[in-house]
């Protein structure tokens, strides 16, 4: 099958292509080199259209127990948000915590072709994969959470050989079928189980005597030495606490050049100035990020309206329960592995704090120079549901629109923010970096996020439109592996995406200590803890793509 997309304007930053008009050839699911003599089976005239690789969301909570807790807890989120079944698609519901099927369809309708669940507890990995298996249309992958699990904390407390730590990290990635590793409130989720209510970068865990700094450095160094492409994905200490920007700055410095990805950094960029003791620290944060090439970020932009926060950070989410809206929430201690907190939230533009959070996110977007190191996220659904991305893109691309929106927020927040004075407007090329090329490179997705010959033909075609929100809401065509799956925002074919994993080497000897640990303390056996390929392939009707890792050192 040979398809020609004729005459589109191509934005393909991974290959330095910035708005060049040319044809794209798709041969059996992959991008092919142009060949004017080739016999074409299907041709789409897309002159004047904007063409990008399929979008990639590197941080979206789409699968796993905490989302299902949110779904169960919030029937009011789903009522009035039904999606009826069609001859092609299943029914679904939901706005902030959509059902899996609805989420997959909606992502594809917006031109996304891959989504990564960033907080997969290894103990909950099987369910996370089952939910992702029921998320059609898009490729997916997940980051295994480490850093508050008792096995690692015991290793660190006992000052075990670093190779054993690396073996354990790699083993966990295999067992949980993960592509990367995330740490959430390093050590803090465990500390909360010991009734510690706060754990700063250099504070010691009451039981293990280990500090977040140690955990961060160990995990980051471990991943580097294991050859894992995506740097340690860090949800830092003190999420949401006014004044936490100092910890965030210290965290960057603490890494001494070791690579980290600071996720939803907006929630970690708060100062304590002003009457409300709440202020923006976007400027110092952005400045330090700009100066540290080892750091990448995603923003976790908040947008106004009802949503639901869901995090592994039981300690901080417990602290946030006082703002729950509606007034109900779940906090869990989980399996000597991690925890979770699910707290519904309604961000209001007339609330000073929420309005300033909104402004802080935008300030960071506009102050961080290098779009290759900042990814466009709302930390779905924590800052806002992913369906708000087109609105967020317009805020970044259109300063007039941004200023209009700024006029609507709490007046004191307007005054407290520099957003109004920032003239930067993102270009289509930069949007393509933040939503495609950047995440693909950071996650180590070999054949995704770009349009060079050989790449998987995940392609999104937009009608150019000054109203960028409208443009990015409803692409004209979306191709997945060369098949047309969406036309004019409607699904025309249902496909099942692949699951991306990374499999760094480990010494199987680690299973000796793990077997001992599991037998002595766990309620699941070591062998059943591991999620098998067969489960994803046969039971979830999926497929697995093993992305390359570098050599272990």
Partner 1 sequence: MPTASQGIESQASNGSGLDTFTSVTCPFCGLHCDDLEVRNSSGADAGHLTIARNGCERAARGFERRPPPSSPQIGGRDTDLATALATAARLIGGARLPLYGGLGTDVEGVRAIMALADRSGGVVDHHLSAAIQRNMGVLQTQGWIMSTLTETRNRADLVIVVASDLMTLHPRFFERIVAPAEAMFGGVPSDRTVVLVGDCGHADAITRTGVKHVVEIPSANDDIPVVLGVLRSMLKGTQLPARDDQRVPFNELADLALRCKRAEYGVFVWAPQALAFRDGDLAVQIVTDIVRDINKTTRFAGLSLGGNDGAASAASVCSWQSGYPLRVSFASGAPDYDPYRYDIRRMLEAGEGDLLVWTASFDPEAAPPATGLPLIALATPGMRFSREPDVLIPVGTPGLDHSGRLVRCDSVVSLPLRQLRPSRLASVTEIANAIAASL
379 binds, among Zn ion, partner 1, none (CB under 5 to 8 A by kind): Zn ion
Within positions 370 to 389, which residues make up the interface with Zn ion, using CB under 5 A?
379
Using CB under 8 A, pick the residue from 512, 528, 546, 548 that binds partner 1: 528
CA torsion sign for 219, 220, 221, 225 is: positive
Alpha carbon distance 348, 342 (integer Å): 19
486 binds, among partner 1, Zn ion, none (CB under 5 to 8 A by kind): none
Question: Phi first, then psi: what are they for 460, rounded to 5°?
Answer: -120, 130
Please give the DSSP secondary-structure letter assigned to residue 485. E
Q: Does 68 bind partner 1 (CB under 8 A)?
A: yes
Alpha carbon distance 53, 38 (integer Å): 22
Residues 6+ apart with CB under 8 A from 304: 347, 348, 349, 354, 358, 384
- Write the burial class of residue 7 (CB in 10 Å: 0-12 exposed, 13-18 middle, 19+ buried): middle
97 binds, among partner 1, Zn ion, none (CB under 5 to 8 A by kind): partner 1
Which string of x and - marks every residue 339-368 that binds partner 1 (by CB under 8 A)? ---x--------------------------
Q: Does 527 bind partner 1 (CB under 8 A)?
A: yes
Q: Does 117 bind Zn ion (CB under 5 A)?
A: no
Residues 6+ apart with CB under 8 A from 69: 310, 330, 332, 340, 342
Using CB under 8 A, pick the residue from 335, 412, 447, 483 that binds partner 1: 335
Residues 6+ apart with CB under 8 A from 81: 93, 94, 95, 98
Instruction: For the CB of residue 88, give the shortest distance to partner 1 in the complex, in Å.
Output: 12
Contact indicator for 473, 390 with CB cutoff of 8 Å: yes
- Write the burial class of residue 463 (CB in 10 Å: 0-12 exposed, 13-18 middle, 19+ buried): middle
Q: Does 97 bind partner 1 (CB under 8 A)?
A: yes
For residue 62, give Cα distances in angstroms to 102, 127, 134, 139, 293.
Answer: 11, 12, 10, 12, 29
Please give the DSSP secondary-structure letter assigned to residue 94. -
Q: Is 92 helix (H, G, I), strand (E, B) or coil?
A: strand
130 binds, among Zn ion, partner 1, none (CB under 5 to 8 A by kind): partner 1
- Partnered with residue 181 across adjacent β-strands are 144
Q: 168 vs 386, which CB is nearer to Zn ion?
A: 386
| Part in contact with partner 1 (CB under 8 A); list of ranges 190-198, 275-283, 447-455, 491-499 | 190-198
Q: 139 vs 379, which CB is nearer to Zn ion?
A: 379
Within positions 241 to 300, which residues make up the interface with partner 1, using CB under 8 A?
none
474 binds, among Zn ion, partner 1, none (CB under 5 to 8 A by kind): none
Instruction: For the CB of residue 263, give the shortest distance to Zn ion in the complex, in Å.
Output: 6
121 binds, among partner 1, Zn ion, none (CB under 5 to 8 A by kind): partner 1
Which string of x and - marks every residue 102-141 that binds partner 1 (by CB under 8 A)? x------------------x-xx-xx--xx--x-------
Q: Does 209 bind partner 1 (CB under 8 A)?
A: no
Q: 98 vs 111, which CB is nearer to partner 1?
A: 98
Instruction: For the CB of residue 185, give the shortest distance to partner 1 in the complex, in Å.
Output: 16
b/e code 128-146 from CB counts within 10 Å (16+ = b): bbbbbbbbbbbbbbbbbbb
Using CB under 8 A, pick the residue from 6, 22, 193, 348 that binds partner 1: 193
Closest-CA residue to 149 (of 218, 49, 64, 251): 218
> Count of residues binding partner 1 (CB under 8 A)?
67
Using CB under 8 A, pick the residue from 539, 546, 548, 550 that binds partner 1: 539
Using CB under 8 A, pick the residue from 53, 59, 100, 428 that binds partner 1: 100
Instruction: For the CB of residue 125, give the shortest distance to partner 1 in the complex, in Å.
Output: 9
Token couple for 368: 């961080």
In 10 A of CB 14, how many CB atoms? 20
Half-sphere exposure of residue 468: CA atoms within 13 angstroms, side-chain side: 20
Q: Does 207 bind partner 1 (CB under 8 A)?
A: yes
Instruction: For the CB of residue 70, give the shortest distance to partner 1 in the complex, in Å.
Output: 9
Q: Is 462 helix (H, G, I), strand (E, B) or coil?
A: strand
Q: 298 vs 540, which CB is nearer to partner 1?
A: 540
In terms of DSSP H, where are the helices of 255-305? Answer: 282-291
Q: Which residues lie near partner 1 (CB under 8 A)? A: 63, 65, 67-69, 71-75, 77-79, 82-85, 90-94, 97-102, 121, 123-124, 126-127, 130-131, 134, 150, 192-195, 207, 318, 324, 327-337, 342, 520-525, 527-528, 532, 535, 539
Q: Which residues lie near Zn ion (CB under 5 A)? A: 379
């Amino acid at each position: 099958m040979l398809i020609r997309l004729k005459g589109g304007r191509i934005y393909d930053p991974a290959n330095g292509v910035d708005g060049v008009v040319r044809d794209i050839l798709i041969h059996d699911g992959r991008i092919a080199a142009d060949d004017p003599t080739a016999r074409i089976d299907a041709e789409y005239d897309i002159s004047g259209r904007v063409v990008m690789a399929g979008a990639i969301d590197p941080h979206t909570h789409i699968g796993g127990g905490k989302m299902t807790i949110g779904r169960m807890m919030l029937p009011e989120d789903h009522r009035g948000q039904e999606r009826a079944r069609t001859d092609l698609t299943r029914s679904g519901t939901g706005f902030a915590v959509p059902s899996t099927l609805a989420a997959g369809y909606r992502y594809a309708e917006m031109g996304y072709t891959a989504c990564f669940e960033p907080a997969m507890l290894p103990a909950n990995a099987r369910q996370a994969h089952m939910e992702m298996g029921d998320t059609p249309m898009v490729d997916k992958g997940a980051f295994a959470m480490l850093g508050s699990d008792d096995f690692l904390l015991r290793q660190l407390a006992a000052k075990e050989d670093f190779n054993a730590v690396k073996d354990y990290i790699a083993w966990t990635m295999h067992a949980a079928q993960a592509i990367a590793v995330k740490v959430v409130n390093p050590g803090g989720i465990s500390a909360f189980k010991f009734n510690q209510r706060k754990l700063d970068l250099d504070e010691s865990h009451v039981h293990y005597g280990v500090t977040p700094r140690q955990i961060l450095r160990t995990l980051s160094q471990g991943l580097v030495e294991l050859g894992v492409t995506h740097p340690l994905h860090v949800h830092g200490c003190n999420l949401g606490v006014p004044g936490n920007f100092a910890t965030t700055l210290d965290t960057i410095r603490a890494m001494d050049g070791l690579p980290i990805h600071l996720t939803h950094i907006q929630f970690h960029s708060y100062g304590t100035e002003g009457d409300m003791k709440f202020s923006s620290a976007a400027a110092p944060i952005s400045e330090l990020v700009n100066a540290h090439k080892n750091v990448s970020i995603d923003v976790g932009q908040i947008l106004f309206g009802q949503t639901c926060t869901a995090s592994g950070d039981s300690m901080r989410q417990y602290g946030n329960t006082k703002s729950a809206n509606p007034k109900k929430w779940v906090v869990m201690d989980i399996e000597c592995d991690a925890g979770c907190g699910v707290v519904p939230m309604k961000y209001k533009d007339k609330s000073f704090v929420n309005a300033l959070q909104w402004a802080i996110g935008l300030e960071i977007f506009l102050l961080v120079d290098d779009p290759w190191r900042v990814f466009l996220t709302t930390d779905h659904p924590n800052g806002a549901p992913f369906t708000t991305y087109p609105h967020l893109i317009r805020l970044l691309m259109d300063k007039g629109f941004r200023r209009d929106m700024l006029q609507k927020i709490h007046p004191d927040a307007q005054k407290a923010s520099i957003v109004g004075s920032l003239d930067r407007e993102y270009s289509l090329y930069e949007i393509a970096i933040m939503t495609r090329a950047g995440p693909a490179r950071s996650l180590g997705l070999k054949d995704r996020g770009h349009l060079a010959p050989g790449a998987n033909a995940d392609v999104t075609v937009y009608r150019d439109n000054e109203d960028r929100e409208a443009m990015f809401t409803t692409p004209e065509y979306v191709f997945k592996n060369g098949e047309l799956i969406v036309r004019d925002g409607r699904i025309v074919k249902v496909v099942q995406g692949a699951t991306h994993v990374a499999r760094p080497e480990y010494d199987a000897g680690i299973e000796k200590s793990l077997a001992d640990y599991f037998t002595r303390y766990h309620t699941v056996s070591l062998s059943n803890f591991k999620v098998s390929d067969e489960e994803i392939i046969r039971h979830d009707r999926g497929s697995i793509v093993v992305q390359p890792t570098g050599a272990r050192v």
